[in-house]
Structure 1
Amino acid sequence: MNQNPQSSDGRGDDDTALSDFLASLMDYTPTIPDELVEHYLAKSGFQCPDVRLTRLVAVATQKFVAEVAGDALQHCKARQATIPKDKRDKQQKDKRLVLTMEDLSKALREYGVNLRHQEYFADSPSTGMDPATREE
Protein backbone atom coordinates (compact mmCIF):
# COMPACT_ATOMS: atom_id res chain seq x y z
CA MET A 1 0.00 0.00 0.00
CA ASN A 2 1.26 3.48 -0.81
CA GLN A 3 2.07 5.32 2.43
CA ASN A 4 3.11 8.51 0.62
CA PRO A 5 0.77 11.36 1.65
CA GLN A 6 1.04 12.81 -1.86
CA SER A 7 -1.06 10.82 -4.28
CA SER A 8 0.28 9.74 -7.63
CA ASP A 9 -2.09 12.07 -9.53
CA GLY A 10 0.03 15.15 -8.76
CA ARG A 11 -2.31 16.56 -6.14
CA GLY A 12 0.59 17.37 -3.82
CA ASP A 13 2.24 19.38 -6.58
CA ASP A 14 -0.99 21.31 -7.12
CA ASP A 15 -1.27 22.03 -3.39
CA THR A 16 2.33 23.23 -3.26
CA ALA A 17 1.84 25.45 -6.31
CA LEU A 18 -1.33 26.90 -4.80
CA SER A 19 0.39 27.57 -1.48
CA ASP A 20 3.30 29.25 -3.26
CA PHE A 21 0.91 31.38 -5.33
CA LEU A 22 -1.08 32.47 -2.26
CA ALA A 23 2.16 33.32 -0.46
CA SER A 24 3.29 35.43 -3.42
CA LEU A 25 0.08 37.48 -3.16
CA MET A 26 1.35 38.94 0.13
CA ASP A 27 4.15 40.74 -1.75
CA TYR A 28 2.04 41.71 -4.77
CA THR A 29 0.28 45.06 -5.06
CA PRO A 30 -2.63 44.72 -7.50
CA THR A 31 -3.89 47.57 -9.66
CA ILE A 32 -7.21 47.53 -7.84
CA PRO A 33 -6.67 48.66 -4.22
CA ASP A 34 -7.44 46.23 -1.38
CA GLU A 35 -9.86 48.73 0.17
CA LEU A 36 -11.98 48.90 -2.99
CA VAL A 37 -12.12 45.12 -3.29
CA GLU A 38 -12.99 44.78 0.40
CA HIS A 39 -15.77 47.36 0.00
CA TYR A 40 -17.45 45.47 -2.82
CA LEU A 41 -16.91 42.11 -1.16
CA ALA A 42 -18.53 43.45 2.02
CA LYS A 43 -21.35 44.98 -0.01
CA SER A 44 -22.08 41.54 -1.46
CA GLY A 45 -22.03 40.00 2.03
CA PHE A 46 -18.59 38.39 1.92
CA GLN A 47 -16.07 39.01 4.69
CA CYS A 48 -12.67 37.42 5.03
CA PRO A 49 -9.77 38.73 7.11
CA ASP A 50 -7.20 37.06 4.82
CA VAL A 51 -5.65 39.74 2.59
CA ARG A 52 -4.46 37.02 0.18
CA LEU A 53 -8.03 36.22 -0.76
CA THR A 54 -8.82 39.89 -1.27
CA ARG A 55 -5.82 40.20 -3.58
CA LEU A 56 -6.82 37.05 -5.43
CA VAL A 57 -10.19 38.65 -6.18
CA ALA A 58 -8.37 41.85 -7.26
CA VAL A 59 -6.14 39.88 -9.65
CA ALA A 60 -9.14 38.04 -11.11
CA THR A 61 -11.00 41.35 -11.52
CA GLN A 62 -7.96 42.95 -13.16
CA LYS A 63 -7.74 40.03 -15.61
CA PHE A 64 -11.46 40.30 -16.42
CA VAL A 65 -11.24 44.05 -17.06
CA ALA A 66 -8.15 43.58 -19.25
CA GLU A 67 -9.90 40.89 -21.32
CA VAL A 68 -13.03 43.02 -21.75
CA ALA A 69 -10.93 46.03 -22.77
CA GLY A 70 -8.98 43.92 -25.26
CA ASP A 71 -12.18 42.54 -26.76
CA ALA A 72 -13.67 46.04 -26.94
CA LEU A 73 -10.53 47.17 -28.79
CA GLN A 74 -11.02 44.38 -31.32
CA HIS A 75 -14.65 45.44 -31.81
CA CYS A 76 -13.50 49.04 -32.29
CA LYS A 77 -10.95 48.01 -34.92
CA ALA A 78 -13.56 45.88 -36.70
CA ARG A 79 -15.99 48.81 -36.67
CA GLN A 80 -13.29 51.12 -38.08
CA ALA A 81 -12.62 48.61 -40.86
CA THR A 82 -16.26 48.76 -41.99
CA ILE A 83 -16.21 52.54 -42.46
CA PRO A 84 -16.31 53.52 -46.16
CA LYS A 85 -12.87 54.23 -47.62
CA ASP A 86 -13.44 57.96 -48.28
CA LYS A 87 -14.41 58.61 -44.66
CA ARG A 88 -11.65 56.33 -43.40
CA ASP A 89 -9.00 58.37 -45.27
CA LYS A 90 -10.11 61.49 -43.38
CA GLN A 91 -9.90 59.62 -40.07
CA GLN A 92 -6.39 58.26 -40.81
CA LYS A 93 -4.94 61.64 -39.86
CA ASP A 94 -6.21 61.12 -36.33
CA LYS A 95 -5.23 57.53 -35.50
CA ARG A 96 -6.75 57.50 -32.03
CA LEU A 97 -9.22 54.76 -31.29
CA VAL A 98 -12.26 55.76 -29.29
CA LEU A 99 -14.01 53.30 -26.99
CA THR A 100 -17.74 53.56 -27.61
CA MET A 101 -20.59 52.14 -25.58
CA GLU A 102 -21.39 49.97 -28.58
CA ASP A 103 -17.92 48.38 -28.52
CA LEU A 104 -18.00 47.94 -24.76
CA SER A 105 -21.48 46.42 -24.71
CA LYS A 106 -20.53 43.94 -27.46
CA ALA A 107 -17.44 42.89 -25.52
CA LEU A 108 -19.35 42.52 -22.26
CA ARG A 109 -22.12 40.56 -23.98
CA GLU A 110 -19.52 37.87 -24.79
CA TYR A 111 -19.05 37.42 -21.03
CA GLY A 112 -22.75 37.31 -20.25
CA VAL A 113 -23.07 40.93 -19.11
CA ASN A 114 -25.86 42.82 -20.86
CA LEU A 115 -25.23 46.54 -20.85
CA ARG A 116 -27.98 48.88 -21.90
CA HIS A 117 -28.47 52.62 -21.68
CA GLN A 118 -30.75 53.76 -18.91
CA GLU A 119 -34.10 55.15 -19.99
CA TYR A 120 -32.98 58.63 -19.01
CA PHE A 121 -29.76 58.39 -21.03
CA ALA A 122 -29.66 61.37 -23.39
CA ASP A 123 -27.68 61.93 -26.54
CA SER A 124 -27.89 65.68 -26.14
CA PRO A 125 -27.94 67.89 -23.04
CA SER A 126 -31.37 69.29 -23.91
CA THR A 127 -33.07 65.89 -24.09
CA GLY A 128 -35.25 65.29 -21.07
CA MET A 129 -35.43 68.94 -20.04
CA ASP A 130 -38.64 70.80 -19.51
CA PRO A 131 -39.72 72.18 -22.92
CA ALA A 132 -40.01 75.68 -21.47
CA THR A 133 -36.35 75.74 -20.40
CA ARG A 134 -34.83 74.34 -23.59
CA GLU A 135 -32.59 76.61 -25.61
CA GLU A 136 -33.23 75.83 -29.28
Structure 2
Amino acid sequence: MSYPDDNRQYYNPSEPSIQNLRSSIHRPLTTNQQQFVQQAIERPQQQNPDDTKEFVRQLGEYQPTIPDSVSMHFLKSCGIDGTDARVSRLIALSAQKQISDIILDAMQNARMKGLGQTKKGTKETKFTLTEELLDSVLVEYGIKNTRPPYHT
Protein backbone atom coordinates (compact mmCIF):
# COMPACT_ATOMS: atom_id res chain seq x y z
CA MET A 1 0.00 0.00 0.00
CA SER A 2 1.39 3.42 -0.92
CA TYR A 3 0.10 6.90 -0.47
CA PRO A 4 -0.14 9.28 -3.46
CA ASP A 5 1.65 12.22 -1.80
CA ASP A 6 4.90 10.33 -1.12
CA ASN A 7 6.74 7.23 -2.31
CA ARG A 8 6.91 5.37 1.03
CA GLN A 9 5.49 1.89 1.41
CA TYR A 10 3.37 1.13 4.49
CA TYR A 11 2.73 -2.20 6.12
CA ASN A 12 -0.73 -3.57 5.56
CA PRO A 13 -1.81 -5.82 8.47
CA SER A 14 -4.11 -7.84 6.20
CA GLU A 15 -1.10 -9.09 4.21
CA PRO A 16 0.40 -12.38 5.44
CA SER A 17 3.52 -12.11 7.57
CA ILE A 18 5.86 -14.65 9.06
CA GLN A 19 4.46 -13.96 12.55
CA ASN A 20 0.92 -14.64 11.37
CA LEU A 21 2.02 -17.84 9.69
CA ARG A 22 3.95 -19.05 12.74
CA SER A 23 1.09 -18.37 15.11
CA SER A 24 -1.42 -20.11 12.86
CA ILE A 25 0.61 -23.33 12.80
CA HIS A 26 -0.18 -25.15 16.01
CA ARG A 27 1.50 -28.41 16.82
CA PRO A 28 0.27 -30.30 19.88
CA LEU A 29 2.85 -31.33 22.46
CA THR A 30 3.95 -34.93 22.56
CA THR A 31 3.46 -36.90 25.78
CA ASN A 32 7.17 -36.54 26.63
CA GLN A 33 6.98 -32.78 26.16
CA GLN A 34 3.84 -32.59 28.30
CA GLN A 35 5.55 -34.56 31.07
CA PHE A 36 8.58 -32.27 30.93
CA VAL A 37 6.41 -29.15 31.18
CA GLN A 38 4.47 -30.63 34.09
CA GLN A 39 7.69 -31.49 35.95
CA ALA A 40 9.04 -27.98 35.36
CA ILE A 41 5.87 -26.50 36.84
CA GLU A 42 6.02 -28.75 39.90
CA ARG A 43 9.74 -28.29 40.67
CA PRO A 44 9.57 -24.87 42.37
CA GLN A 45 6.91 -26.17 44.75
CA GLN A 46 9.11 -29.11 45.72
CA GLN A 47 12.19 -26.96 46.44
CA ASN A 48 13.69 -27.78 49.80
CA PRO A 49 14.66 -24.79 52.02
CA ASP A 50 17.61 -26.86 53.27
CA ASP A 51 19.16 -26.58 49.79
CA THR A 52 19.59 -22.83 50.23
CA LYS A 53 21.14 -23.28 53.67
CA GLU A 54 23.51 -25.88 52.27
CA PHE A 55 24.50 -23.52 49.42
CA VAL A 56 25.23 -20.68 51.86
CA ARG A 57 27.26 -23.06 54.05
CA GLN A 58 29.29 -24.20 51.04
CA LEU A 59 30.00 -20.58 50.09
CA GLY A 60 31.94 -20.22 53.34
CA GLU A 61 34.26 -23.07 52.32
CA TYR A 62 34.56 -22.27 48.60
CA GLN A 63 37.52 -20.27 47.28
CA PRO A 64 36.52 -18.53 44.03
CA THR A 65 39.03 -17.57 41.34
CA ILE A 66 38.65 -13.90 42.24
CA PRO A 67 40.26 -13.45 45.69
CA ASP A 68 38.23 -12.15 48.63
CA SER A 69 40.48 -9.11 48.95
CA VAL A 70 39.70 -8.03 45.36
CA SER A 71 35.94 -8.46 45.73
CA MET A 72 36.02 -6.65 49.11
CA HIS A 73 37.99 -3.78 47.53
CA PHE A 74 35.37 -3.30 44.82
CA LEU A 75 32.53 -3.62 47.34
CA LYS A 76 34.13 -0.90 49.47
CA SER A 77 34.64 1.32 46.42
CA CYS A 78 30.89 0.99 45.75
CA GLY A 79 30.06 2.03 49.31
CA ILE A 80 29.38 -1.40 50.83
CA ASP A 81 31.43 -1.82 53.98
CA GLY A 82 31.88 -4.73 56.39
CA THR A 83 30.15 -7.47 54.45
CA ASP A 84 30.20 -11.15 55.32
CA ALA A 85 32.85 -13.22 53.53
CA ARG A 86 30.10 -15.40 52.06
CA VAL A 87 28.52 -12.35 50.41
CA SER A 88 31.80 -11.30 48.83
CA ARG A 89 32.34 -14.89 47.64
CA LEU A 90 28.85 -14.98 46.14
CA ILE A 91 29.58 -11.76 44.24
CA ALA A 92 32.98 -13.11 43.14
CA LEU A 93 31.34 -16.32 41.98
CA SER A 94 28.73 -14.43 39.95
CA ALA A 95 31.47 -12.23 38.40
CA GLN A 96 33.46 -15.36 37.56
CA LYS A 97 30.39 -16.86 35.87
CA GLN A 98 29.79 -13.67 33.86
CA ILE A 99 33.41 -13.51 32.69
CA SER A 100 33.36 -17.21 31.83
CA ASP A 101 30.21 -16.79 29.72
CA ILE A 102 31.72 -13.84 27.84
CA ILE A 103 34.97 -15.71 27.09
CA LEU A 104 33.14 -18.86 25.98
CA ASP A 105 30.90 -16.83 23.65
CA ALA A 106 33.96 -15.09 22.18
CA MET A 107 35.62 -18.46 21.61
CA GLN A 108 32.46 -19.78 19.96
CA ASN A 109 32.48 -16.76 17.61
CA ALA A 110 36.15 -17.44 16.79
CA ARG A 111 35.33 -21.07 15.99
CA MET A 112 32.42 -20.10 13.76
CA LYS A 113 34.60 -17.59 11.88
CA GLY A 114 37.44 -20.11 11.58
CA LEU A 115 40.04 -17.86 13.19
CA GLY A 116 42.02 -20.62 14.92
CA GLN A 117 45.61 -21.54 14.15
CA THR A 118 46.43 -25.22 13.72
CA LYS A 119 49.96 -26.63 13.93
CA LYS A 120 51.03 -29.11 11.28
CA GLY A 121 50.78 -32.70 12.39
CA THR A 122 48.34 -32.01 15.23
CA LYS A 123 44.63 -31.47 15.35
CA GLU A 124 44.88 -28.95 18.19
CA THR A 125 43.61 -25.51 17.27
CA LYS A 126 44.64 -22.43 19.23
CA PHE A 127 42.53 -19.32 19.38
CA THR A 128 43.61 -15.78 20.19
CA LEU A 129 41.19 -13.49 21.98
CA THR A 130 41.12 -10.27 19.98
CA GLU A 131 39.44 -6.96 20.64
CA GLU A 132 37.10 -7.45 17.68
CA LEU A 133 35.84 -10.79 19.02
CA LEU A 134 35.44 -9.42 22.51
CA ASP A 135 33.64 -6.24 21.40
CA SER A 136 30.94 -8.14 19.52
CA VAL A 137 30.23 -10.37 22.54
CA LEU A 138 30.26 -7.46 25.00
CA VAL A 139 27.63 -5.67 22.93
CA GLU A 140 25.37 -8.74 23.25
CA TYR A 141 25.75 -8.56 27.04
CA GLY A 142 25.01 -4.83 27.09
CA ILE A 143 28.55 -3.78 28.04
CA LYS A 144 30.18 -0.85 26.22
CA ASN A 145 33.93 -1.13 25.69
CA THR A 146 35.31 2.39 26.13
CA ARG A 147 38.84 1.66 24.96
CA PRO A 148 39.71 2.67 21.42
CA PRO A 149 40.57 -0.26 19.12
CA TYR A 150 44.18 0.95 18.72
CA HIS A 151 45.20 1.07 22.43
CA THR A 152 48.50 -0.40 23.53
- TM-score (norm: length of structure 1): 0.66
Structure 1, unaligned runs of 5 or more: 1-8, 82-87, 124-136
CA distance in 2, matches of 1:27, 1:105: 35
Q: Which has the larger radius of gyration?
A: 2
State the match for 2:112 in structure 1.
Answer: 78
**Structure 2 Cα separation of the partners of residues 18 and 47 of structure 1:** 24
State whether structure 2 residue 137 is matched by structure 1 residue 103: no
Distance 1:42 1:80, change over 3 A: same
**Alignment equivalent of 1:93, drawn from 99, 119, 131:** 119
TM-aligned CA deviation for residue 117 of structure 1 = 3.0
CA gap of 1:28–1:122, structure 2 versus 1, over 3 A, is: closer
Alpha carbons 1:105, 1:116 under 8 Å: kept? no
- SS state of the match for residue 26, structure 1? helix
- Asked if structure 2 preserves the Cα contact closer than 8 Å seen for 1:22 and 1:52, the reply is yes
Match of 1:49 among 77, 80, 83: 83
Over 3 Å counting, the alpha-carbon distance change for 1:45 and 1:93 in structure 2 is: same
Residue by residue, what CA displacement relative to the aligned partner does 1:16-75 show, whole Å, maximum 9, x if unpaired? 221110111111111110000000111111224311101000110111111011001011
TM-score (norm 2): 0.60
Aligned-residue identity in percent? 30
Gaps of at least 5 residues in structure 2 are: 1-44
Q: Could you say which structure has the greater relative contact order, defined with CA pairs below 8 angstroms and 6 or more residues apart?
A: 1
Question: What per-residue deviation string (whole Å, max 9, x for no partner) do you get for residues 82-109 of structure 1?
Answer: xxxxxx9xx5437321110011111111
